[in-house]
């Protein structure tokens, strides 16, 4: 049995298939497994909380794990060790989420493209048809991650507290969320996964996209992401498309295309959940 896993900081999807590429279980979902944020003990606890995964653990021969926080060696090896402990008969391959986005978004396996992730966090890489290239090392949600769910969640909370929201939007925001200062600070500073907590506010944008305030907020964040991340590949943009993976990108397609015209780059595919593309990719590798 082969497990293919796509994990962000918020949620993690697992799909099992046999050696012929046939899916053998319904998709399994656990909490996100970001080894740059979570301890090995916490990672182990999250995976072990799934009865479905534990039931098949000894049958698994390969685990292909793609995840946020796996772009540097120490957290990647930390998670690899946890997975090898839970799936003792499996060969475990852990790669960063950017490679999942590449394999899910590509029109062909050797297509060159700039590939962006805009989910709970954000990132941008260039795939030359063979290798992945990154020119900016991500420092995570505190210092980077423009145009991500946690970025927009932070901006919404800031605008609310700095009284920069239109009154009608402010009232709707108050009705949807607990905005007491102590509650927000507790979740940011006392609870695990503050980035996922911030990202939970981003849904509000897509429930209120008819507002000029929301539209401008989305475009403003994406302009920052473009200038800091996408434009690091100016030469490559002359000849290749820019693909997008993640729910924030998927629901912001109109705003992204509008900003892309401003900066003169070609928008390619939008993939909400890379896991389906990963299944296609790994199935093709079996034949």
DSSP assignment letter at 274: T
Helix (H) or strand (E) holding 77: helix 73-86
Return per-residue pLDDT of the chain as tens, 287 residues: 999 999 988 889 999 998 888 888 889 999 999 998 899 999 999 999 999 999 999 999 999 999 988 988 999 999 999 999 999 999 999 998 889 999 999 888 889 999 999 998 999 999 999 999 988 888 878 899 999 999 999 999 999 999 999 999 999 999 999 999 999 999 999 998 899 899 999 999 999 999 999 999 999 999 999 999 999 999 999 999 999 999 999 999 999 999 999 999 999 999 998 888 888 888 887 75
Measure the CA–CA gap between 123 and 140, rounded to whole angstroms: 9
Angle subtended at Cα 81 by Cα 12 and Cα 278, rounded to the nearest 5 degrees: 35
Separation in Å, CA 238 to CA 109, 113, 264: 20, 11, 9
Q: Looking at residue 1, what is its pLDDT?
A: 92
Q: Looking at residue 224, what is its pLDDT?
A: 97
Helix (H) or strand (E) holding 260: helix 253-263
What pTM was estimated for this model as a whole?
0.82
Q: Looking at residue 287, what is its pLDDT?
A: 59
Structure tokens at 226: 């473009």
Domains annotated for the chain, with CATH where assigned, are: 2-101+275-286 (3.30.420.40)
């Amino acid at each position: 049995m082969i497990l293919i896993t796509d994990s962000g900081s918020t949620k993690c999807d697992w799909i099992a298939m046999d050696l012929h590429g046939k899916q053998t279980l319904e998709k399994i979902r656990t909490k996100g497994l970001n080894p740059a944020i979570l301890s090995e003990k916490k990672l182990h606890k999250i995976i072990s909380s799934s009865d479905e995964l534990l039931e098949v653990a000894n049958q698994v021969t390969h685990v292909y794990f793609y995840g946020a926080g796996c772009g540097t060696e120490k957290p990647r090896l930390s998670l690899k060790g946890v997975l090898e402990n839970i799936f003792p008969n499996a060969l475990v391959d852990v790669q960063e989420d950017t490679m999942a986005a590449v394999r899910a978004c590509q029109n062909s396996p050797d297509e060159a493209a700039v590939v962006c992730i805009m989910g709970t966090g954000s990132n941008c890489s260039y795939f030359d048809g063979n290798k992945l290239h990154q020119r900016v090392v991500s420092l995570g949600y505190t210092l980077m991650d423009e145009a991500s769910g946690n970025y927009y969640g932070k901006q919404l909370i800031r605008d609310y507290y700095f009284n920069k929201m239109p009154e009608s939007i402010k009232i709707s925001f108050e009705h949807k969320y607990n905005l007491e200062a102590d509650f927000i600070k507790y979740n940011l500073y006392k609870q695990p996964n503050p980035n996922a907590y911030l990202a939970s506010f981003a849904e509000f944008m897509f429930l209120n996209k008819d507002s000029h305030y929301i539209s401008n907020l989305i475009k403003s964040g994406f302009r920052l992401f473009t200038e800091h991340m996408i434009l690091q590949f100016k030469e490559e943009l002359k000849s290749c498309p820019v693909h997008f993976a993640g729910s924030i990108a998927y629901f912001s397609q109109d705003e992204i295309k509008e900003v892309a015209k401003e900066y003169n780059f070609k928008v390619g595919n939008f993939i909400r959940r890379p896991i389906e593309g990963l299944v296609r990719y790994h199935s093709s590798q079996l034949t």
